[in-house]
Structures are given as structure tokens and as C-alpha cells.
Amino acid sequence: MANARTSSGPANPRFFTRSGPFDAQALAEAAGATLVPPREGSFPAGGYTGIAPLQGAGAEDVSFLDNRRYASLLEGTQAGLIIVAPAFADKVPAHSAALVSATPYLAWSRVARLFHPKAPPNPGVHPSAVVDASAVVDPSAEIGPFVVVGARAEIGPRCVIGAHAVVGDGVVLGADCRIGSQVTLSHAMVGERVIILPGARIGQDGFGFAVGPNGFETVPQLGQVVLEHDVEIGANTTIDRGSVNDTVIGAGSRLDNLVQIGHNAQLGRCCIVVAQAGISGSTVLEDYVTVAAQAGLIGHIRIGAKARIGAQCGVMSDVESGADVIGSPAMPFREFFRNVAVLRKLSKKASGPAEDGSGKG
């Protein structure tokens, strides 16, 4: 049995698929980068076989540098091929080739995906799965153990549904979706290439109630959830279906683990919502908005395109496009830090007499 404490480096083959080797030109084309041959020596005859960090890479490995803090690691690395920004191209060791890119992290992502593509679906329905007779499951889809697929649900080509997931009545999944184990999907229309990590809950009742003479009365939640193409949803994230309007997550958006999206919320294209953030009902995020960890947004507000909401921010009113806000209540970054500086000065003044022992102001 393998030692649980033993690591085989990045992309342990026990867990990740491997591809390759690839020659330098193929990697340059995949990365969209400019290939610079080594000043000493030559490319490995058998091509490059994998990826590794600078400090652990060998002559047949590809590595990268994206943060100047780690520039000193270039001196001692044995990596055969290094992805760098133009500013570091002349610092690559003589024995290493370089892939020069204005966006080295993006180039690294593309190379890593080339070496480690997603495992292809294993088409078929597991014997323990329960699939309603009226559901439509594409023959190329993989339906895992103990999955439940409800009436009139549609599972598109090459989808992978993990163990114990529930695809509720009427739910539609587009092509190439990956649904993690123990995900529950109801009242949802899902686009293509959507990834939902384990434990997420999509389409449950929104938090809607009216106050009657004898207490709370639940308001029917009659909308749905729309996940557009290329959305990724983190583990244990929850997205409520709309009350009357739909809850929409725009194409290309990324939601981290443990995010809460309230009913009727509308997220535009390529929004980012980081862990433990909560967006209340009927709030609108325009395209390319970033919401950092533990931020909270009240309902019925609009966040303009490309705005950035800082960590632990309490947003209680509209935010203009392109604005950067932080604090609770939210305010522009400069105003927030100016206030912090003033408070520090006042605190020092207030503590001055006690500190010098004179008793005089």
C-alpha cells in the first residue's frame, strides 16, 4: 500500500490523467507564447513529459514564473522549459528554453491542461442509478452510482453525473457538464460545459415569506435557476430559484465554495464570487464584477460592470461601474483607508496623556 504521506509531486497519477510527452513547439502553440530555445544545449529528444514547480523541476519538465517574489528561484532551477513574462526572459537559465508570454499564468494553465486533460466520460448508466422512464439521457453521458434522474429531465452529450447526485424533474443539462457527487439540482436550466462541485444545492426554495395574522406564510417560489455556458459552481454553494423572475448566473462566471445566491439575483458575464460571500435576492451584478470573500450584499441593489467588492464588505446601496469598495458600510477604497488613518491618529492622541504619565493634555 502506498504511504499516505508520500507525494509524487504535482498531478499524482493516482488522481489525475496524464498526457504527453509534447515537443516545445506544440507547447508554444497551446500556450499562445513565443518559444525561445536554450542558449546552451538543446531541447530534450523525447519532448517534455510533465509540469513541476521551479524548485522541483527537471530537464524534461515545464515550469513557470508569474510572481516576481519568486524570481530568485530561476537561478537554481533545472526546469527544461520555463513560462515567463517578457521582463524575465533574459533571466531564464542558459540550459532552459523559455515560453515568453504577456500572460504567463494563462499560458501555464493551457500547458497544464494539455498535460492533464479531464478524464473522458465512461458512457452508460450505473446499475444502482434510478432514471425515470421519461428522462432523456444521451448515450455518451456517464451516470454514476446511486444517481437519481427525475421525470422529463434531459442529460446532454458527454455529461458526467457523480455518485448520489440528484437531477430533479424537468432539469436540463447541456453538453459536457460535470456534476459532482451529492449535488442536487431542481428547477434549473443548465448550459454547456457547466461544472458543479460536490455538495452544491441548485434550485431550492428561495427565502420568501409574508407576515400574516398568525405568523409567517411561505410565498411560492415559482421561478427557476439559469446557469449559462461555462459557469463553474464551487462545493457546498447554494443558489435559490427565483420567486417569479429567474435567478441567473451569467456565462463564464465562477462561484467559489460556500457561496449563497438569493432568489431572483442576476449575475452578468464572467463574475467572480469568492468563498462565504452572500448575495441577497433581486440584486443585479453586471458583467465582470468581483465579490471577495465574506462580503454581504443586501437585496434589490445594482453593482455596475467591473466593480470590485472587497473582503468582508457590507454593501447596502448601488455601486457604480468600475468602483472599488471596502468596509461596512461599503465605501471607496481611498475613503476607507483615509478614515482608518484618521482613527489611528485620534487614538494616539487620546492615549497620549496616559502614556507620558504627566496627566497633562
The arithmetic mean of pLDDT across residues 125-140, rounded, is 98
Query: Please, which residues bridge with residue 131 across strands?
Result: 149
**Residue 353 — very low, low, confident or very high, per pLDDT cuts 50/70/90?**
low
pTM higher than 0.85, yes or no? yes
Q: What is the pLDDT of residue 352?
A: 65
Is 263 a known active-site residue? yes
pLDDT of 6 above 60: no
Distance CA 142, CA 343 (A): 59
Position 345 scores a pLDDT of: 86
Q: Which residues of 176-188 are buried (b: 16+ CB within 10 A; e: fewer)?
A: bbbbbbbbbbbbb
Number of C-beta neighbours around residue 225 at 10 A: 26
8's CB contacts (< 8 A; 6+ apart) are 14
Check residue 8 and give its pLDDT: 55
The residue among 5 and 45 whose pLDDT is bigger is 45
pLDDT for 361 equals 42
Give the DSSP H/E element, type plus range, for residue 270.
none
Catalytic: which of 116, 164, 187, 263? 263
C-alpha angle 209-212-213 in degrees, rounded to nearest 5 = 160
Cα separation, 171 vs 192, whole angstroms? 13
Domains, the chain, with CATH or none: 24-115 (3.40.1390.10), 124-333 (2.160.10.10)
Average pLDDT over residues 223-244: 97
> Which of the four pLDDT bands, split at 50, 70 and 90, describes residue 350?
confident
